[in-house]
Structure 1
């Protein structure tokens, strides 16, 4: 029997299950405060019994950003990541987002292939980053 997957907005009660997905996928756990900042862009894949995946999106008024796409390893290759990204893209369009960016680690060949299959193309940008301490 095939389980129906729904893609919906994250709620606080999903936090423990989202943490379990990130842990199983070998990803760092995201603090709850980051997930509730703009919850309409944080989505979960829910089959009614458990969460199978999580994705975070942000929008700064100019560009959307996809962060932290994770699918539980036992649920991979079922179209869940594509479903999460598709729903997030729909929500980006609804708020007038003209472009979406994301980062892929250089050694993640499978991840890069996945994103390219969805139409995301590598850009020649140089990533610069600076950690900020709470006070200086």
Structure 2
């Protein structure tokens, strides 16, 4: 498996993955944020590629030296946890290079189900933040 920066040629495959993995409402919200983040800072979008297929993606952003995992989506299969961990680790390297001092997982209704996965990777309650009005806007870095 290869974790790398999103490339414009990944757009169609990443969009299909998001549509496949996310609920309808979450997909629509995520596509808006995805487009915004692409225009602001595409370096904070990472993809996981296996056998030439995009099997995972993470969309991050930075605001005031805080890194946010806006959305992570991974196709379900046997090493899903490894893909999640790899995407998070790759994005954290980007955050570190940019001087991010803390990482936050915004808890909207779509991310709440991922709390056990984040906890299994060592994240604690202090890393979670409830999104205002159940929404978190992607902010430019």
Q: Which TM-score band (shorter chain)?
A: 0.7 to 0.9
2:107 match: secondary structure:
coil
Q: Which structure has more strand as a fraction of its residues?
A: 2
1:65-80 matches, cutoff 5 A: 65-74=68-77, 77=80, 79-80=82-83
Deviation at 1:77, TM superposition (A): 2.8
Gaps of 5+ in 2: none
Residue 30 of structure 1 aligns with which residue? 31
1:6 and 1:122, CA in 2 relative to 1: closer, same or farther beyond 3 A? same
| 63 and 21 in structure 1: CA distance in 2 versus 1, 3 angstrom threshold | same
Residue of structure 2 equivalent to 1:128: 132
Q: Tell me which structure has the larger Cα radius of gyration.
A: 1
CA RMSD of aligned residues (A): 2.8
Relative contact order: is structure 1 or structure 2 higher (C-alpha 8 Å, sep ≥ 6)? 2
Bigger fraction of residues in helix: 2
Cα distance change on mapping 1:13 and 1:95 into 2, 3 Å: same
Query: How many residue pairs get matched?
Result: 128
Normalised TM-score (structure 2): 0.75
